[in-house]
Copies of this chain bind each other. A is one copy, B any other.
């Protein structure tokens, strides 16, 4: 019996599910990659086969996301959270400040880090709505001497998304797309920089991808930035100044090949719409479940919902796990339930969840 027949549906916010076919390929060549007699993770990063892999990875990333030539694609080791400091350290000079749209937990933490290290202010703050909606753009304030504007299009903890691309009046826009990069086609030209941790839609945990416009790189002048936090280091050395997280790079390459073979980002996007719409439909049609995020701001990727009979939450989670529907517990900061619907979550997983939700509502009505 195939190991995959018992595969669980992992609805956790990340590290997340990866596509079965990608995992099967990685397993098959785990001991012998590229006929080299060793695993890809045992191969030196400056050998020809690995350098080729990095070049192909970069090319494929550019192709899948249609990234113009005046943007750099950088592969950084470590967690995306390092960017919360790295962005202000690279892009803010002494007389400048950065504007933050604080629309959930992650953007608020990015704002706190930037404020501590440099000068930053809130363009808008969704905290007064308890992150259930985002204030009207007419109320947003962009101050003079703003070097960049920062936002998080999808907030995994709060289950809220920014439904528009903010119009930033020519100020470079930086987006934390950790949870949404590769889930839909983008017009890269709308952004000065995009970054994303790998562990949702790109690869396994331990890598961050950054897409940075050349004119932002050219602005960096501070000579006290730690070398490993200086984007110029990654540009000059094509992400190979230090040893990159080689297995994550390999897995990212397999993931991109998988996206292409499935039909590209427009297919990822329509699947995501189908999955999230089906789930919100059940929630909205029900007297048992509810979502308190205002409709235009509901995340497609992290569907947060609650039980009206709050006391049944643990029972709901236990029953779900027994059916292989894993990690549906909401983030500890907000409670409730959360179904994360990254690219690798198949529609069958969502159908199984919906079936369970109907069943659980019926027996507990």
- Chain A binding site: helix, strand, loop or mixed by DSSP? loop
Q: For the complex formed, measure the closest distance between the CB of A59 and the CB atoms of chain B, giving whole angstroms.
A: 22
Chain B residues with Cβ below 8 Å from A242 are 79-82
A93 interface contact, C-beta 8 A? no
CA distance A128 to B341 in the complex (A): 59
Asked if A16 and B42 sit within 8 Å, CB to CB, the answer is yes
Chain B residues with Cβ below 8 Å from A47 are 12, 327
Q: For chain A residues 69-88, which have a beta carbon within 8 Å of chain B?
A: 76-82, 84-86
A350 interface contact, C-beta 8 A? no
Asked if A116 and B224 sit within 8 Å, CB to CB, the answer is yes
CA distance A189 to B242 in the complex (A): 30
Closest to A18 in B: B42
A163 interface contact, C-beta 8 A? no
Chain B residues with Cβ below 8 Å from A326 are 36-38
Residue of B14, B37, B223, B332 near A8 (CB, 8 A) is B37
A44 interface contact, C-beta 8 A? yes
Closest to A16 in B: B42
CA distance A85 to B226 in the complex (A): 6
Residue of B7, B8, B37, B204 near A324 (CB, 8 A) is B37
A176 interface contact, C-beta 8 A? no
A6 interface contact, C-beta 8 A? yes
A307 interface contact, C-beta 8 A? no
